[in-house]
Amino acid sequence: MRYHPRYAHAFKKQYKKLQHSGLKKIATALDVTIETLLPYRAHKLVGRLEGYYECHVQPDWLLVYRVCEDEKILELVATGTHSSLFE
């Protein structure tokens, strides 16, 4: 099932920083499916981030996202290390 990406402002800024650091492996753009995120330990978040998901792109590099099933949108919300995202 195909989803259209939507990029949150914070995600765009964080992604730009990661590109400068040489980390380019990320769930990109135009043909993102939920199934492609499953090998990266995708799981639901709880608490104040209920309704969001997280997957591990690398052991300490996360991608936080939200899925809108009605509109078939995958919103990329944030990316970074555990400490940079959850402090």
Catalytically active residues, by annotation: 82
Token output for 8: 């949150």
For 83, how many CA atoms within 13 A lie in the half-sphere containing its CB?
0
Cα 41 off chain centre by: 12
The SS3 call for residue 54 is strand
